[in-house]
Amino acid sequence: MTENFTPKAYLKSSCPFCFKLVMFLAEAKLMEKVEIIRIESSDEAALSHYRDQLQKATGKAASFPTVELSPGKFSSDSDGLINYFGEKYEVVPSSLPGLAYYKDNLFPAYLANFRELKALRAEATSAK
């Protein structure tokens, strides 16, 4: 049953962790091995729908990326997912120059902005 299962990657647009996973999959030429479910950050209805769906499936708050690796088995750790697909398809993530460039240069800046935006949203919500 799981032999024919295509992993489903739930990816939120503008998410630096999701981009890191996509960067790996694209550079490793594995995009066709995964069904991508793209969720627009600005589409609150879709975002709420997928968050609820993932929370029910995993039993914890949804985070992105989340990949259903096999029926009912989910993972949300971008580095863990990269390592999983790397091992499964014999791709060494550190051998991918685009991924290394992103992780060493762009990702830290995106992560800082992501955290700052999250803090500002939380602050704005608590001020209401």
Q: Is the pLDDT of residue 1 over 50?
A: no
- As a whole number of angstroms, the distance between CA 83 and CA 20 comes to 12
The count of structural domains within the chain is: 1
Q: What is the mean pLDDT of the chain?
A: 94
Banded pLDDT at 2 (limits 50, 70, 90): low
> Domain range holding 105?
2-127
Using alpha carbons, list the distances in angstroms from residue 82 to 29, 41, 67, 104, 119: 13, 22, 11, 16, 27
Omega within 30 of 0 (cis) for the link into 65? yes
Residue linked to tokens 């992780």: 103
Strand partners, 66: 10
CA nearest neighbour of 38 among 68, 14, 5: 14
- CB proximity list for 23: less than 8 A, separation 6 or greater: 98, 99, 102
Higher per-residue pLDDT: 4 or 66 = 66
Tens-digit pLDDT profile for residues 6-45: 999 999 998 999 999 999 999 999 999 999 999 998 999 9
Alpha helices by DSSP H, listed for the chain, are 16-27, 44-58, 78-88, 97-101, 107-127
Question: pTM of the full predicted structure?
Answer: 0.87
% of the chain surpassing 70 pLDDT: 98
**CATH classification at residue 8:** 3.40.30.10
Q: Report the greatest alpha carbon distance in the chain.
A: 50
- What's the confidence (pLDDT) of residue 128? 74
